[in-house]
Amino acid sequence: MTRTGHDSLKTRKQLLVGDTIYEYFSLKVAADKLGDISKFPFTLKVLLENLLRHEDGSSVTLEDLQALVNWQKTRCSEREIAYRPARVLMQDFTGVPAVVDLSAMREAMGALGGDPEQINPLTPVDLVIDHSVMVDEFGNSNAFQTNVEREFERNAERYAFLKWGQQGFRNFRVVPPGTGICHQVNLEYLGQTVWEEDGVVFPDTLVGTDSHTTMINGLSILGWGVGGIEAEAAMLGQPVSMMIPEVIGFKLTGSLPEGSTATDLVLTITKMLRTKGVVGKFVEFYGDGLDNLPLADRATIGNMSPEFGSTCAFFPIDNETLRYLSFTGRDPARIELVEAYAKAQGLWREAGSEPVFTDTLELSLDTVVPSIAGPKRPQDKIPLSLAASAFDLEVFEPRKQPVIGQSYQLSDGDVVIAAITSCTNTSNPSVMIGAGLLARKALKKGLKVKSWVKTSLAPGSKVVTDYLQNAGLQGDLDALGFNLVGYGCTTCIGNSGPLPEPIAQAVTAADLNVCGVLSGNRNFEGRINPHVKSNYLASPPLVVAYALAGSMRVDLYQDPLGVDLDGNEVYLKDIWPTAMEIEEVVAKSLTPEMFQRRYSNVFEGTTEWRDIESASGRLYQWDKHSTYVKQPPFFASMSPHVRDVPDIQNARCLALFGDSVTTDHISPAGSIRNDSPAGSYLISKGVAPDAFNSYGSRRGNHEVMMRGTFANIRIRNEMLPQVEGGYTSHIPSGRQMSIYDAAMAYQQQETPLVIFAGKEYGTGSSRDWAAKGTRLLGVRAVIAESFERIHRSNLVGMGVLPLQFQQGQSRLSLNLCGKETFHVRGVSKIQPRTTVKLHIQRLDGSNEEVSLVCRIDTEEELAYYHHGGILHYVLREQASKN
């Protein structure tokens, strides 16, 4: 039954579409009573409708509604609101631990005297298994089947667990592996733009457990990534607590010039918005340039919202929205409803529409030039014309190393991974067709990919394969080694698989700075492959071009890619497809029937999936021998009552970090090293190193994940300035040890821990284990100059206190070395955004006290913190209903 509130303003009206009468909560009626909203940003109109529909006098009040409308006076607000998304989207890396937590909560509910069946999703949940395929095999026609077989071998336990969850929980659907990337499945099938439940229509909204949930913003659906912990609360009926956001308007004019792609555009926008500073803010696109921007391009931009730091990157409903819904085979009745509802609600973008915003930026699409981004951050855009010279700045004197068994040498700057991968670009037919046409032209010229390049093609959906085959371009890509390796997130999340052993040995022997080029959205240190130091984001056609060039030190504007069959030099301009060529092939190759056919049985899965045996019943039977799924300790000995939160006394610093520590650094994805704490644990359980799988695949096992916390090979702890990797100095012994081992030693001594960091702590993917692992290591507080939005929320959700230095203060200004003793006072009396005192006892006996800002931002978050975490809060609330 659709949950609606009191509707004190009497906004519930009827809407006739075709022969059907729907009910909706009218923004126009609300405006008559609350104030004019004709110039309101579309994103805030969606939030206002959400509050209208759920106004109940307690979680949503008339004062909340008025405060949202009054936003227009200052275009910012400190008001906290309770937002209830229509649905939740998950992928398997984040979804498995969520289902683990829900299973553990059922048992805890029984221990508290409640009914375990109360722990059940109240909000619809779709989990898409897309993060587990790895590029083990590549460059041949057997790659796809081999990788699928290995995926099911490695993940049988996880998949059986998810199949149990599908039958064990109501309102929970699983899209089986091999279907596509969750964001592309969301864009092509799950997303509806306008939602309908029990005859009530409202904007389609969601939260997702993956940062790139914002890709759906391109389809005019308001959604963003949250931590797995926050998503679990939303699943259980809790609202998302948030401040009314600032909204940055981004005006687009003109159209993309010949030779520039959607990828070049999004890298340009990422640079502009990261420079502007939009963390925690909404971004909304407007301007007549939208008329020249296909929906796939809009989705590409929306996808990169986490990279420029905003909460969302929204495009309003217009004719292009309807065209895409029709093109992807959506129900015509739903498309008619979308148009009628959007126009009735004032959610339709009219020509010349310019809402009021907190601030604005503007970009003429005509000025976008071919670009890449790297070598370590997605916002570090480099014009393609300067790419070779930019890499030369990374290496002082290029080195070379012979490759065993080969006639060539490997050099600094050589491209060893070229991957067409990730949700960002493999949803976009223009760049995928562009890559295929470039491959075709290269083959006709007699060009080949360099022998040292690991090539792969991992589309975001099976429809990509359909249109590449229909265009005859898959064979051209295959001929260059870009064979299909799987449907899902691969290289972009660290599932690039191993480099060929001779290549890896050469890289290690000379400590070469070799490169990866990928059509993804993330290139943080240590993420893509442990042997690849420099990684660059690029469009799919440029991925193919760099595979042909074989080195980042090749200037694609000035240097030849090779020679043709007659010995003539071939340049990139000779094989680059024109926009008209691409458009003609796209028009001929894609049909709505492709989408309808691929999604007609989307929940059935392959034979391998259907053959997996899984348990049944309302409580999961934990296997104590499993190294993939273990009962977590979060609810052990949980009392039915809230306990006082004490001050933090005699704490030690576990680690002292600089700026831009990402969730990849805190909770790494990718491979598990044999000599790491997690590797040692798995070996002790009888798991052979070649069966380690990845950290992401083992997120259902807290023993692995807490050992992987802060274990990234590229992280730098300033307590050990000469050491790279997850190590620290144990105080007072002074012994160097892994961060995990030090944390366990401190726990034996009952010593609380704190973390210090610089700016943008926790940037990157919305990994709940970055917060869960921090909590399990015994960290009571993280003290930083600034936090990324999702990770700060996750820390609170796990009962870890985020504290922020006052303006002008930092670990550097306080001259901290990490060997001090710390006391945090005033914890038991904290309120949102108030201050606490940090008392520092130095080695020389001197003392200093400074004020820190408590980054618990809302009353709801304060309640979560006092309960020891958001899941404990929900559990106690559900148990109290008995």
Answer whether 773's CB lies under 8 Å from 795's CB.
no
The model's confidence at residue 644, banded by pLDDT at 50, 70 and 90, is confident
> What does the pLDDT read at residue 664?
86
Other beta carbons within 10 angstroms of residue 812's beta carbon come to 11
pLDDT in tens, 748-796: 999 999 999 999 999 877 688 999 999 999 999 999 999 987 799 889 9
Q: Give me the mean pLDDT over the 240-266 stretch.
A: 96
Average pLDDT, the chain: 94
Mean per-residue pLDDT, 679-705? 93
Nearest CA to 231 out of 333, 350, 390, 122 is that of 122
Which of the four pLDDT bands, split at 50, 70 and 90, describes residue 237? confident
Per-domain boundaries in the chain: 87-367, 379-599, 648-667+709-879
pLDDT of res. 191: 98
d(CA 469, CA 462): 11
Report d(CA 416, CA 324) in Å as an integer: 37
Which CATH topology does 87-367 take? Answer: Aconitase; domain 3 (3.30.499)
Tokens linked to 336: 């008619």
Confidence of residue 494 (pLDDT cuts 50, 70, 90): confident
User: Which has the higher per-residue pLDDT, 790 or 441?
Assistant: 441
Q: What is the mean pLDDT of residues 260-268?
A: 96
Query: Residue 1 pLDDT > 70, yes or no?
Result: no
Do the first three CATH levels of 87-367 and 379-599 match, i.e. the same topology? yes
The band of 440, judged by pLDDT with boundaries at 50, 70 and 90, is: very high
Q: pLDDT-based confidence at 232, cuts 50/70/90?
A: confident
CB environment 38-68: b (16+ within 10 A), e (fewer): eebbbbbbbbbbbbbbbbeeebbbeebbebb
Give residue 647's pLDDT band: very low, low, confident or very high (50, 70, 90).
very high
Q: State the greatest distance between any 2 C-alpha atoms of the chain, in Å, as a whole number.
A: 82
Q: Which amino acid is at 74?
A: T
Query: Looking at residues 6-26, what average pLDDT do you find?
Result: 97
Q: Is the overall model pTM greater than 0.85, yes or no? A: yes
> Do the beta carbons of residue 306 and residue 281 sit within 8 Å?
no
User: Helices 295-303 and 429-444, interaxial angle, to 10°?
Assistant: 100
The answer, yes or no, to whether residue 882 has pLDDT greater than 70, is no
Q: Is the pLDDT of residue 78 over 90?
A: no
Compute the distance between CA of residue 161 and CA of residue 277 in angstroms, rounded to an integer. Answer: 41
Range from 52-56, 152-156, 504-508 carrying the lowest mean pLDDT: 152-156
| Average pLDDT of span 46-63 | 95
Burial tier of 141 (Cβ tally within 10 Å: 0-12, 13-18, 19+): exposed
CB 626 within 8 A of CB 100: no
Query: pLDDT by residue (tens digit) across 168-208?
Result: 999 999 999 999 999 999 999 999 999 999 999 999 999 99
Mean pLDDT, range 719-736, rounded to an integer: 95
Looking at CATH, the fold of the domain delimited by 379-599 is given as Aconitase; domain 3 (3.30.499)
pLDDT tops 70 at residue 386: yes
Query: Can you tell me the mean pLDDT for 798-815?
Result: 96
CB atoms within 10 A of CB 199: 12
Closest residue by Cα to residue 782 from 646, 647, 644, 653 = 653
What is the amino acid identity at position 415? V
pLDDT above 90 for 572: yes
Which residue in 712, 706, 866 sits closest to 799, CA to CA?
Answer: 866
CA neighbor of 360 nearest in space, from 298, 302, 284: 284
Angstrom distances, CA of residue 515 to CA of 296, 552, 666, 797: 28, 7, 23, 37
CATH number of 648-667+709-879: 3.20.19.10
